[in-house]
Chain A
Amino acid sequence: MTALDFASNAAVRPTWRWWVFVALSVVVLAGLPLVTDVSLQLQLSLIFLLSLLALSMSFMWGYGGMLSFGQTVFYGLGGYCYAIASMNFGTTGWAMLIAVLLPAVVAALLGYFMIYGRLSDIYLSVITLAVTLIFEKAIRATSGPEFVVGSVRLNGQNGIPGVPGLQVPWQDAPLSMEGVFWLTAAAMVTVYVALRLLLTTSYGRVLVGIRENEARMQLMGFDSRRYKLAAFVVSGAIAGLSGALYAVWGNFVAPEMFNLNQAAQVVIWVIVGGRSTLIGPIVGTGVVQWLTTWLGQVGVGQVTLVLGFVLMVFVLAFREGLLPTLGALGRVLVRRQPGDTAPPVLPARQSAPGAPRE
């Protein structure tokens, strides 16, 4: 087995190596705030919470075979829900719960129309894209004083400032900088492990089966729509959590959370890291965020120019993404010992050329 086999997309049971890897990551993440300065912690926390968004995307796209451009809808909804609920009720724990549940409900509604309407992949992508644009526009149009939820003004373009941090029961003050770091890291690791284990259950195996061949799974008696809708709802909830964590991290929510650029970035993280893995999107988020920050520091004015170029290059040349490409390279370079079989890396399903219309 190569060291990269935790990057495999086959829904196999994790090996003990993977558990060691998870345990090591937990130890490193728990100890990191003790040895790093505040600005690095802030940056890493942002990367961790954005990784959640990337994870929600790769779960749905890499494993469920549905490319949704609308993950930022749930991300933004999560952020706004947390902001509005915490400022209205004053209890941030409930606000966090609402920020996960409401996006899940919206995902269920939207998903019902799209998935039970049997929209094919491309239609689903475009509809979710349109929903993103409309949401952003609608939020931007709420600058007038008549748009108030409870006691909170929506403020349109300017967003809602002064969102309270998360209040934990064992402390009087809201979470400190280290607290936010640990919170985002814990959320990322928990969601990663949960998704990885979910994929080894019968639900996860059926989902991957649907991605590979939906008609065959239906003939075997599975109602594929139920499985896909569940995946859509789960990933909506994860994106909502990510948005709520962003509000906790920055004490601020703004219509930019629904932005098309934001949506594009999610896709780029997942593509760069490798959509057919769960660890890939986390790596991709880190790499691209770091690249973005670095480009900003050296004074390249238009980061989108570079990101667009990266997206085109990866789609044309490295379709599987960084980690699987490196893994394949490693397997070619390092001759495997006889009898040592790495699980096959299945390519993500794509529409066949010239497939007959339904």
Chain B
Amino acid sequence: MDQLAASAYLVVFSITLLVIISLGLAVIFGLMKVINLAHGEFIMLGAYACVFAVDAGLPLWAACAAAALAVGAFGVVVERVLIRHLYGRLIDTLLATWGLSLFIVGAVTTLLGPAGRGIPTDFGNVTVGALNLSVYNLMLAAVAVAMLAATWGLARFTRFGLLARGTMQNPTIAGAMGVNPSLVYMVTFGYGSALAGLAGAVLVPLTGVSPTLGLAFVAKAFVTVITGGHLPLLGTGLASSIFGAIDGVLSYRWSSVIGEVGVLIVAVVVLRLLPSGLTGRMRSGL
């Protein structure tokens, strides 16, 4: 029973991590059909921003918000300078953002040095039955749910969400109705980047941060988003749950490397059966 509960806790934690690191990428891919290979580096920038904000005396929650805003603004700049010229050229955006990712890693290493930074957490543990749970991990689960809910609410109930969903379904028709798709894309890319920044900020108490932090997340995030398919929320939710469960169980039983290999094998098999992802057959939705 205890073992079952312990592995259930690991599974929930794996799902939480996957949702947090891949939601920003999923929003950008789902809406704009742009694969942002610099996503991991956006997470890394968010983590650094959070560390600096905490050093400057802000409480952790405010530092996280500041990191999300800063990386969101950075994303808007990237969209205007780089991505804007490459719409419709899927492979080229992939390559350009890869160049960007190398560039950011090089720049951050030059400016801040290769050494890692971190911030202390003192949230402690709670004991539930025979389980000893970290309070911060539970808070992360809440953050993941909040991120999903906020994105859903934004897309479902706001005017911007309506415009974004229209542009997502058919940019030409949306443009003919008087929407400026370019502006929608810019804001969406900024929002996706802000989610990545937030992800880095909330994860930094657990992982610390160094210029190569992005590499640790990037493969998992891509596999999750690609397997999820073109609907950002449903796809990411489903794929995160499946992969989180596999990763949690395999990591608990053997090691984290086996967990990742297992996730990859399952992803390849799923994509063999459903080539455009779990939600590829669904026409509309979120």
Contacts and interface: CB of A to CB of B under 8 A. Distances in A.
Given A129-B219, A308-B106, A122 B257 contact: no
B82 A309 contact: no
Contacts of B116: none
A121 B90 contact: yes
A141 B255 contact: yes
A357 B219 contact: no
Interface in B59-117: 82, 85-92, 94-96, 98-107, 109-110
B268 A127 contact: yes
B95 A315 contact: yes
Contact of B107 (A302, A307, A311): A302
Contacts of A311: 95-96, 98-99, 102
A126 B90 contact: no
Interface residues of B, number: 48
B55 to A, nearest CB: 24
Contacts of B269: 113
Interface in A180-237: none
Interface residues of A, number: 50
Contacts of B268: 110, 113-114, 127
Contact of A309 (B85, B95, B103, B261): B103
Interface stretch (B42-50, B139-147, B200-208, B222-230): B222-230
Contacts of B95: 267, 271, 311, 315
A138 interface: yes
**B99, B103, B267, B276 — most chain A CB neighbours (10 Å):** B99
Contact of B94 (A113, A125, A127, A319): A125
Contacts of B223: 126-127, 130
B264 interface: yes
B85 to A, nearest CB: 6
B35 A350 contact: no
Given A134-B261, A267-B98, A357 B230 contact: yes
B106 A130 contact: no
Interface in B258-286: 260-261, 264, 267-269, 271-273, 275-276, 280
B280 A357 contact: yes
Contacts of A271: 95
A331 to B, nearest CB: 24
B35 A122 contact: yes
B100 A137 contact: no
Interface in A94-147: 110, 113-114, 116-123, 125-127, 129-131, 133-134, 137-138, 141
B194 to A, nearest CB: 22
A315 B102 contact: no
B257 A141 contact: yes
A109 B91 CA distance: 24
B99 A125 contact: no
A264 B92 contact: no
B218 interface: yes
**A260, A267, A271 — most chain B CB neighbours (10 Å):** A260
B30 interface: no
Contacts of A305: 102-103, 106-107, 109-110
A350 B86 CA distance: 12
A351 interface: yes
Given A126-B35, A127-B268, A354-B172, A133 B215 contact: yes
Contacts of A114: 268, 271-272
Contacts of A354: 88, 171-172
Interface in A312-358: 312, 315-316, 319, 350-354, 357-358
30 contacts: A117-B272, A118-B275, A122-B94, A123-B275, A126-B223, A126-B226, A127-B223, A130-B219, A130-B267, A137-B260, A260-B215, A264-B102, A267-B95, A302-B106, A303-B106, A304-B106, A304-B109, A305-B107, A307-B102, A308-B104, A312-B82, A312-B103, A316-B96, A319-B92, A350-B91, A351-B90, A352-B88, A353-B88, A353-B89, A357-B280
Given A123-B276, A305-B109, 20 more contacts: A67-B91, A114-B271, A119-B271, A121-B90, A121-B91, A125-B91, A126-B35, A127-B226, A129-B222, A131-B264, A137-B260, A267-B95, A308-B100, A308-B103, A308-B104, A308-B105, A312-B82, A316-B86, A351-B89, A357-B276
